[in-house]
Amino acid sequence: MLPVPNGGTGASSFTSNGLLLGNGAGALGVSAVGPANTVLTGTGAAPAFSATPTVTGLTTTGQAALTGAQIYTDVCSRCHGPNGEGGIGPALADANFQAQYDNQALFDEISQGHEATPMIAWGEILTPDQLEQLVRFIRSFKLITVETTGTPSAPPSFAQQIAPLLKDRCSYCHNEKTILGGWDASTYDTVMTTGTHSPVVVPGDARGSLLAQKVFGTQLEGDVMPPGGLMPEDEILLILDWIAGGAPNN
């Protein structure tokens, strides 16, 4: 269960994408499968935010443990921006976002992850000390104000946005005649029902959807798709938002 922000009712301020994790770039080399070339330390009981963190645990081979600032720079900044201004993920420097979470709630969000998004549970990889350092680094951002409409936006249109994107990026290898991996991206029905590891799309569950994992580089097996490398962030975001919004045939 996700933590309740500062006396809230249980609704999280994270966007449909949550905190996203790419595939093994930077000094950490972390992917959804687990960290490569790192040392992991088990934590036992659920950790809590401490006033005096001492960083130990996650290290690159032959190097000292990485600090929260280094972890943010190497991993988190790719989705949340180098200064927390946001990108694929929400703006962590947003004054409204920061006001909704005390240190423990923010610690828990990062530690536990978001089940309905590609955000992993960092508590399974980082030590409590590193999580505390990461919280403190996020608190150090110069606050900004991000304007919102106050009402959730409708998911992207499959017919007008997702289908053309899949045709452009996927149909060369995934069509009714050439069905690599058993997946056909030609129509809504084939997108939803075909695939050697189907379902490729799990409505409402971006993290659990193979399509989202493949385009974001968090897949457990095989390579990122398309083969040429990651798509532009705005295109990845469309797919993630469509899936998170229930993957409708709209």
- pLDDT for the residue 166: 93
1: tokens are 């269960």
Beta strands in the chain (DSSP E): 30-31, 34-35
What proportions of the chain, in percent to the nearest 5, are helix, strand and coil?
A: 35, 5, 60
Give average pLDDT by consecutive 10-residue segment, the chain, 250 residues: 33 32 34 32 49 45 70 83 80 85 89 73 89 90 66 80 93 87 93 91 85 80 81 85 90
- Taking CA 21 as the corner, what is the angle to CA 217 and CA 244, rounded to the nearest 5 degrees? 85
Q: What is the C-alpha to C-alpha distance for residues 134 and 108, in angstroms, rounded to an integer?
A: 12
- pLDDT for the residue 117: 62
Q: What is the C-alpha to C-alpha distance for residues 160 and 106, in angstroms, rounded to an integer?
A: 37
- pLDDT for the residue 152: 56
- pLDDT for the residue 91: 84
Measured CA to CA in angstroms, residue 148 lies from 2, 49, 57, 94, 205 at distances of: 22, 30, 38, 11, 24
Residues forming CATH 1.10.760.10 domain(s) in the chain: 30-139
Under CATH, what is the fold of the domain 30-139? Cytochrome Bc1 Complex; Chain D, domain 2 (1.10.760)
- pLDDT for the residue 159: 94
Omega before residue 164 within 30° of 0, cis: no
**107 contacts 41 by C-beta, under 8 angstroms:** no
- pLDDT for the residue 65: 74
Of 128, 105, 50, 118, the closest CA to residue 78 belongs to 118
For the full predicted model, state whether its pTM sits above 0.75: no
